[in-house]
Amino acid sequence: MRVSAQLLPEFAKRPTMHDAIYLDNAATTRTDPAIAAQLAEDSLRHYANPASTHRAGLAARRRLEQARETIAERLPGYRVVFTASGTEAIHLAIRGAFGVRPRRRRVLVSAVEHPAVLRAAEALVPLGAEVETIAVDAAGRVDTERLEARLAEVGEQVAVCAVMAVQNELGTIEPLERVRALLARHAPQAFFFVDAVQALGKIVFDPETIGAHAYAFASHKIHGPKGMGCLAVREPVHLAPLLTGGGQEFGLRSGTPDVPGACGFATAFVEAFDHAARHVRHLESLRAQLAEGIARIEPGAVVHGPGEPGGCSPSILSVAFPGRRGEQVQHALEAEGLYCSTGSACHSAERKPGHVLRAVGMDPVLAEGTVRFGLSWTNTEAEIERALEIIAAALPRVPARATIA
- 62/401 with CB nearer another protein: 62
Neighbours of 400 (CB within 10 A): 15
Cα atoms in the Cβ-side hemisphere of radius 13 Å centred on 86: 28
Q: How many residues bind another protein (CB under 8 A)?
A: 17
C-alpha separations of 2 from 35, 147, 353 in Å: 8, 46, 43
In the bound complex, what is the minimum distance in angstroms from residue 187's beta carbon to another protein?
A: 21
103 lies in the site for another protein, by CB under 8 A: no
In the bound complex, what is the minimum distance in angstroms from residue 312's beta carbon to another protein?
A: 23
Strand pairing class (370-374; 78-83): unpaired
Q: Rounded to an integer, what distance in angstroms lies between the CA atom of residue 358 and that of residue 203?
A: 25
- 4/349 with CB nearer another protein: 4
- 58/152 with CB nearer another protein: 58
Strand pairing class (130-134; 106-110): parallel
Neighbour order of strands in the sheet with 229-234: 78-83, 229-234, 214-218, 191-195, 158-162, 106-110, 130-134
Binding range to another protein, per CB under 8 A, among 46-54, 79-87, 176-184, 345-353: 46-54
Neighbours of 18 (CB within 10 A): 7
- 58/149 with CB nearer another protein: 58
In the bound complex, what is the minimum distance in angstroms from residue 106's beta carbon to another protein?
A: 30
- Burial group, residue 123, by CB count within 10 angstroms (0-12, 13-18, 19+): middle
Q: Which of 30, 46, 178, 386 binds another protein (CB under 8 A)?
A: 46
55 lies in the site for another protein, by CB under 8 A: yes
Angle between helices 259-274 and 55-72 (to 10 degrees): 20
106 lies in the site for another protein, by CB under 8 A: no
- 52/403 with CB nearer another protein: 52
Contact string 249-268 vs another protein (x = CB under 8 A): --------------------
Contact string 317-356 vs another protein (x = CB under 8 A): ----------------------------------------
Q: Which of 23, 26, 32, 61 binds another protein (CB under 8 A)?
A: 61
Contact string 178-207 vs another protein (x = CB under 8 A): ----------------------------x-
Q: DSSP secondary-structure letter at 143?
A: -
119 lies in the site for another protein, by CB under 8 A: no
Nearest to 355 by CA among 159, 22, 121, 7: 121
The H or E element that residue 134 is part of is strand 130-134
Q: Which of 15, 17, 43, 54 binds another protein (CB under 8 A)?
A: 54
6 lies in the site for another protein, by CB under 8 A: no
Cα angle vertex 135, ends 152, 172, to 5°? Answer: 120
Q: Which of 59, 154, 237, 291 binds another protein (CB under 8 A)?
A: 59
- 46/119 with CB nearer another protein: 46
Is 346 tagged catalytic? yes
Strand pairing class (214-218; 191-195): parallel
Cis, peptide link before residue 322, omega less than 30° from 0: no
Q: Rounded to an integer, what distance in angstroms lies between the CA atom of residue 329 and that of residue 315?
A: 20
273 lies in the site for another protein, by CB under 8 A: yes
Q: Which of 4, 11, 13, 76 binds another protein (CB under 8 A)?
A: 76
Q: Which of 74, 79, 104, 202 binds another protein (CB under 8 A)?
A: 74
In the bound complex, what is the minimum distance in angstroms from residue 263's beta carbon to another protein?
A: 13
Rounded to the nearest angstrom, the gap between the alpha carbon of residue 38 and the centroid of all alpha carbons in its chain is 24
Q: DSSP secondary-structure letter at 378?
A: T
Q: DSSP secondary-structure letter at 256?
A: -
Please state the φ and ψ torsions of residue 254, each to the nearest 5 degrees.
Answer: -70, 155
In the bound complex, what is the minimum distance in angstroms from residue 319's beta carbon to another protein?
A: 32
41 lies in the site for another protein, by CB under 8 A: no
Torsion angle, alpha carbons of 338, 344, 213, 152, to 10: 140
Q: DSSP secondary-structure letter at 47?
A: -
In the bound complex, what is the minimum distance in angstroms from residue 361's beta carbon to another protein?
A: 34
Interacting residue ranges for another protein, rule: CB under 8 A: 46, 53-56, 58-59, 61-63, 73-74, 76, 206, 273-275
Active-site residue numbers?
346
